[in-house]
Amino acid sequence: MENMDLGIKLGKLRLNTPIVCASGTFGYGDELKDLVDFKNIGAVIAKTITLSPRKGNPEPRIYETQCGVMNAVGLQNPGLKAFIKEKLPLMRKLTTKRIVSVGGFSNQEYKRIVRRLDEEKGLDAFEINLSCPNIQLKKLISQNAPATYQLTKSLRKLTKKPLFIKITPEVNDVAEIAKAVQDGGADAVSLVNTYFAMAINIETQKPYLGNGYGGYSGPAIKPLSLYRVWKVAKAVKIPIIGGGGIENSCDAIEFILAGATAISLGTVNLIDPDASKDVLKGIKAYMKRKNIKSIKNLRGGLIEPKMG
């Protein structure tokens, strides 16, 4: 099937493939340009930036478990000014779509960053990170539906660029939060960010992570994340950027069958930055085998069991 259609749309943003590289696991894209074939990647989501530079959390910031990775990077980034001066010119050279990830410690900070970056050329969309687990906030914005709605709505007024909101899986009802994102006017909802987690060294009796706890990602979180994407797909009409623990094409197809429009690769990039190549190859082979010409026809293709 030569004329297979793998293109997807997130709002008005068209991606050539459904694969996006998740924030924080792919730098600003440019660092990996010699290792990666960008034609397999629909978009790169840059590391979250904040208004002021951040050094991040005390070391160690990464702790590996048998089937996942805990991180407590703490949004280390050069801040808005240096991002515009040093990183954005590199991102503009990428031969795929470029999404900037925005973090903040108040609604005002989010608004200032979006207002400023909206003026810049070469950014295709915003992903608003309302879900970083390791920055010592009492509560994440995306743990509160009215707060999520309010901030989404006010950011929507500031930009015509595609606006995606990244939410936490750490809530009772993730569909309620996704609905707040949709009602606030976002073009897509992105899930999942990492899960709160910790590990203790029993000899020192101290946590392994310098921050005490962190965010868990990788294969261990896949079933949990797939369930949340499936729940959200039933609740909203806007596209979903779905992921959490995707390692290969079978994982990716599961997320698409559950209703994701785009699928995000995170932790797997730390092992193989060119993971998108095999993931895309596997999706194509599956579509060929199932005689599916357009990825649209795969989306939400889960056959639900009949409830008794």
Ligand X SMILES: Cc1cc2nc3c(=O)[nH]c(=O)nc-3n(C[C@H](O)[C@H](O)[C@H](O)COP(=O)(O)O)c2cc1C
- Interface residues with ligand X (CB under 6 A) are 22-25, 47-48, 69, 71, 73, 75, 101, 129, 132, 166, 192-194, 217-218, 221, 243-246, 265-267
Q: Which of 1, 250 has the CB closer to ligand X? A: 250
Closest to ligand X by CB, 182 or 193: 193
User: Quick count: other Cβ atoms within 10 Å of Cβ 151?
Assistant: 24
C-alpha separations of 282 from 130, 251, 276 in Å: 32, 10, 10
Cα(266)–Cα(286) distance, rounded to whole angstroms?
22
In angstroms, the CA 130 to CA 160 distance is 20
- Position with the least CB separation from ligand X: 24
Q: CB 219 → ligand X: shortest distance, Å? A: 8
The distance of closest approach from Cβ of residue 126 to ligand X in the complex, given in angstroms and rounded to an integer, is 12
**Is residue 132 annotated as a catalytic residue, yes or no?**
yes
Looking at the DSSP bridge assignments, the partners of residue 125 are: 99
- Closest distance to ligand X from the beta carbon of 26 (Å): 9
Asked if 153 and 174 count as a contact pair (C-beta separation under 8 A), the reply is: no
Q: How far is the CB of 44 from ligand X (least distance, A)?
A: 12
Name which of 147 and 224 has its Cβ closer to ligand X. 224
CB of 246 to ligand X, least distance (A): 5
Helix (H) or strand (E) holding 174: helix 174-183
Residues 6 or more apart whose CB falls under 8 angstroms from that of 85 comprise none
Lay out the sheet containing 195-197: strands in order across.
Answer: 62-65, 68-71, 214-217, 195-197
The residue (of 47 and 161) whose beta carbon lies closer to ligand X is 47
Tell the smallest beta-carbon distance from residue 133 to ligand X (Å): 9
CB 57 within 8 A of CB 213: no
Let me know: does 53 contact 84? Beta carbons within 8 Å. Answer: no
Q: Which of 21, 67, 132, 250 is catalytic?
A: 132
What token pair was written down for 194? 């990492």
Please give the Cα distance from 163 to 28 (Å, whole number).
19
Nearer to ligand X, 55 or 121 (CB): 55
Nearer to ligand X, 78 or 218 (CB): 218
Phi, psi (5° rounding) for residue 243?
180, -170
The answer to whether 65 and 71 are in contact (CB under 8 A) is no
Place of tokens 């060119």: 274
Task: Please name every residue paired with 188 in a beta bridge, in sequence order, or none if there are none.
Answer: 164
Q: Which residues are known to be catalytic?
A: 132
